[in-house]
Chain A
Amino acid sequence: MLKNSNNDKSKGIDIVDRLFTEKPIEKRLVITPLLLKEKQIKQGSIDLRLGTEFIITKKTRFSNLDLDDVKELEINIKNYQKMLTIQFNDKLVLHPGQFILGSTLEYLRLPDDLIGYIIGRSSWGRLGLIIATAILIHPLFAGVITLELTNLGEVPIVLRPGRRIAQISFHKSIIQTEEDFSAGKYYGSTHPSFSEIHKDPDIDIFKQFREKKNIK
């Protein structure tokens, strides 16, 4: 059974218990599907598998991705990337230095008091594979987790959807906001998502700030 780090069983977060008991949904953790549970659920973490959909990058004509030019940015992001599907257990070759977006096969839903941290498995890390840079998953998140896959090694790595590639660990959250729950940009996604950085609310503020400065 998976317990939190303080080893206090009475206060511990029993992940397996959360997965399989009929608690109210707010308190429940959902990870589906766990194809071979006894292999995936470990002391301290749960292994996650590589999904079947990927976003690969293309050669493009534009010179850069400028965060201030929101309209252009949205179009450029989609022009620069392409969705690709690989069948379960089929292969995709990740070349040295190549960057692609993948996702977990599992769909997750976190309760309001849990934070998830997704990290690579060391077996893959030793081959030079980096799986995620933005590793935090907020409470109440639902969806598959987008993985940022990069091969830092010297030889191509063959990826097969369905293989255990990442692991997720949970911490109890003590930060609770009183605001109504509002689903985030990537809420409910079922495949790797394109960046939606152009929807950041503060982009406009910085843009206005810069424009005023230029006028002066």
Chain B
Amino acid sequence: MNSDKNIIKEFLNSSLFYFYKLENLINEIKTYSFYSEDYRDLINILSEFNEIVTNNFRELKSKIIEKIKTSSPIEIYNENVVQLNRFNLFLKYFNQIISIFINAENFYIHQGIFILIENFTKKISKISRFIIYPFFPSSKSGMRLNYAYKNLLDFFRKFDKEVEKPEIEDFLLFSIPTLNKEDLLSSCLLGHEIGHFINEKNQIGRNITSEKFMDYQSIFRTNYNKWIKELQAKKPTLKFDLHMESVFFKIWFRIISNWIKEIICDKIGLKLFGLSFFFAFLDFIYINNPYNKGTEKHPPNWLRLKILIDEIQDKDGEISKFIKNYKIDQDFIGEKIKNIISFVQKNFTEEKQEKDEIIQKMKEKVEIAIVRESAIKELNNRKFYHKYINSKLDECIKEYCYKFKIDDMNDVIKLLDLYIIPNEIIDFKKKNSKAVNIITILNAGWLYFLFKIKNHYNILKNLNKMEVRKRFNELLLKAIELSNIQQKIDKILKKAIIKRIFEIFGENNKKEIGLSDLIKELKLEKNFYRQAIEESICELIRKRKLINIRENFIINLNFIIIQKLNVLKSSI
């Protein structure tokens, strides 16, 4: 009897010891030099969870020990078995999350990369957080982290309904390849990964494939016999029964679904990052595997490239429409990009692939060969995509599309040419400045790197080319960091101005005031804050806050405000 009691006590003590161990692990992870705020969010949530669970466990332990003195240990165990099981589950899920971090390597990463990712992901989803990790041995770590986190949330729902659930639903993990961990230009490939997130959230790929399911089936049925004959001609020993048709269709459909998903992600990447995504993708293919014939999950590189080029080009094969958004020297840049595309088309065409030994590959992956024969035609049909993607995608990323972010391209390229950090553009007439958007920096960075980097070799004569490229990369990274800081400060400033406007002009204050008076009243220097005030007031108007108090006070803020009010009035 006594020994049973001791066993229970031992068990409780050892469980408590695991909680302390977890606390130590959290503290250990806190000391790692990670710079992502999202990462800190996760650690904070984990710390809170751990504290709550440890306290609850302590209470349970004292209750059990109390009961040990009076009743039999078997009864005690039965009584609390559910709770103890839950604590065990917690330990399990918690360990899953912690082990993901502990087992990963820790590298120095420039803030610019984090900012690049955070800027996109936070805007796209407010209830998700993105942990950016330098390197993971397994590509599935991101999925595992999210899975473990969801398990933990479920656990809490069961554990205590009163425990406040965190607002953050997902913790998704981006892992940056070790080679690219500081290379900003290659990081544009993250557009594809962000695409996965958008695709998952909006189920774009799944909608397309489910809607086209019947079509796929008919394509498969009409071609099945032909494919079988072709395969048997190449390899006579292959024999196919009737039931094999359904098996083949499953494989074929799975591949089609996977490939469509990947291609959608590429398209999203291009929409978000513009040409910089295309160049980064090209770079990636050259370095890694130009003649990759595709796997079950990823389409062959030539196909991916072809679809990207189709997006960039018009029906007539012109790229001027795409570059028009860039507002740059179209003849020069346009011609250069055209050359690149024609080179790519020559070297990565379908014909080129077919000359390779497909038979050899067919032995390993018959399914890929089948897809190559027919689905490609369907995948290359632009109308097929646009019908589904554009409407859905536009809803998701309209606000973040590259088209709206690349106004200052020419100025940024000019700054880079002078070895000046391209984080802000100065308006000489207004004696004012504005932060350059990250997308502009990336696109200008790529264009400059491809077509004008020689100028930097001349400036930094004493350094070798690799060193110059490294410095160029650092220049862009720093630009992103500084423009991000500037944007944040501007936001704070505008908020403060809006607050002050409301303070000065309370609802009962009937006061007529001009812009110069307002600047004076706000104790601001005219040139620096004129733009900020104008933008703040426009924002108020946009939010229709100013309309409500317009009856009580009149702000005679030059023609801009009056115009805005009139526009708003007519739209109401």
Contact surface of A with B, Cβ cutoff 8 Å: 19-22, 25, 30, 32-38, 52, 83-85, 87-88, 105, 107, 109, 142, 144, 162, 182-183, 185, 187-191
Contact = CB atoms under 8 A, between A and B. Distances in A.
A35 B431 contact: no
B262 interface: no
A188 B111 contact: no
B486 interface: yes
Nearest to A84: B33
Interface of B: 33, 35, 37, 108, 110-111, 418-421, 423-424, 426, 428, 431, 433, 435, 459-462, 471, 474-475, 477-478, 481-483, 485-486, 488-489, 524-525, 528
B526 to A, nearest CB: 10
Provide the main secondary structure of the chain A interface: loop
Q: Which of A21, A35, A144 has the most CB of B within 10 A?
A: A35
B419 A142 contact: yes
A37 B485 contact: no
Given A87-B35, A183-B459, A188 B419 contact: yes
Nearest to A83: B108
Contacts of A25: 418
Given A190-B474, A190-B475, A37 B428 contact: no
B489 A36 contact: yes
A81 B153 CA distance: 42
Contacts of A30: 420
Nearest to B459: A183
Contacts of B423: 32-33, 107
Contacts of B471: 188-190
Given A84-B33, A190-B478, A107 B489 contact: no
A182 B462 contact: yes
Given A107-B478, A188-B471, A190-B477, A20 B420 contact: no
Contact of A32 (B424, B474, B524, B528): B424
Q: Which of B419, B471, B525, B528 has the most CB of A within 10 A?
A: B419
Given A188-B471, A190-B474, A109 B420 contact: yes
Q: Lowest 6 A-B CB distances belong to which pairs? A: A190-B478, A107-B421, A20-B431, A22-B428, A38-B525, A190-B474
17 contacts: A20-B428, A22-B428, A32-B421, A33-B433, A33-B483, A33-B485, A37-B528, A83-B108, A85-B35, A87-B111, A88-B488, A105-B482, A107-B420, A183-B461, A188-B459, A188-B460, A190-B421
Contacts of A105: 482, 485
Contacts of B525: 37-38
A22 B424 CA distance: 15
Contacts of A83: 108
A189 to B, nearest CB: 8
Given A37-B528, A190-B474, A85 B33 contact: yes
A35 B35 CA distance: 22
A71 to B, nearest CB: 18
Contacts of B524: 38
Contacts of B478: 107, 144, 190-191
Contacts of B108: 83, 85
Contacts of B486: 33, 35
Nearest to A106: B482
Nearest to A109: B420
Contacts of B488: 88
Nearest to B426: A20
